[in-house]
Amino acid sequence: DGGITQSPKYLFRKEGQNVTLSCEQNLNHDAMYWYRQDPGQGLRLIYYSQIVNDFQKGDIAEGYSVSREKKESFPLTVTSAQKNPTAFYLCASRKGGQGPYEQYFGPGTRLTVT
Amino acid sequence: GNSVTQMEGPVTLSEEAFLTINCTYTATGYPSLFWYVQYPGEGLQLLLKATKADDKGSNKGFEATYRKETTSFHLEKGSVQVSDSAVYFCALRDTGANSKLTFGKGITLSVRP
């Protein structure tokens, strides 16, 4: 079955620690995305990548970093510089090109930083 | 820039009631429009989409029509079920090389038996 996996589902960290969230897809999609979801705020784009070895900042990139060394993987690191990291993080992927292709979402990782 | 505005929530309905969730948008080009649904504790799933003016997207009894004249994409269902309880997001993707989605804030729907 093709899809997107995110692990772990729940993650707990102490303040001041960096943490990396995993996102893997086997859909052969070129584009991948990271969103942050907070109650009442919808989804906000953190970073996205349209092709391997390339990525762009989204609307709220400060305090986050990504890499795209393989087509199927797009890990997100939440650094200690992120002021309010506790949130639900969603990864998505999409077929490449300009068509109205939908984004497919993973199940999410809930990060709690104390 | 692009933006999506959804009606304020939450919305609580009784089973078999009629549902309308309003969505309006602002975009510079000719966007594609989407409704996504998020069940508790899960990621988002595409519910329906429309790619040009007057297109109607439909799925699982839900419908939405792309209205360019009113820049709207309201979601409707004739008879909701308890299993429809979820968060609903309206989103747009503008034309051009940029493939980003712009989401509304989402609205929580609760359906009572």
pLDDT tens, residue by residue, A24-72: 999 999 999 999 999 878 899 999 999 999 999 999 999 999 999 999 9
Residue B100: the pLDDT is: 83
| Furthest CA-CA distance within chain B | 45
Q: Do A105 and B44 touch (CB under 8 A)?
A: yes
* pLDDT tens per residue, range A61-79: 999 999 999 999 999 999 9
Neighbours of B39 (CB within 10 A): 13
* CA atoms of A7 and A5, how far apart (whole Å): 7
**List of chain B residues with pLDDT < 70:** 96-99
Contacts of A47 in chain B (CB under 8 A): none
Q: What is the pLDDT of residue B8?
A: 85
Tokens of A102: 């939908």
Q: Which residues contact A1 (CB under 8 A, 6 or more apart)?
A: none
Identify whether the C-beta of residue A34 lies closer than 8 Å to the C-beta of residue A87. Answer: no
Report CB contact under 8 Å: A40, B97. Answer: no
Inter-chain residue contact A107 with B93, CB threshold 8 Å: no
Q: What is the pLDDT of residue A101?
A: 81
Q: Which residue from A103, A29, A111 is spatially nearest to A73, judged by alpha carbons?
A: A29
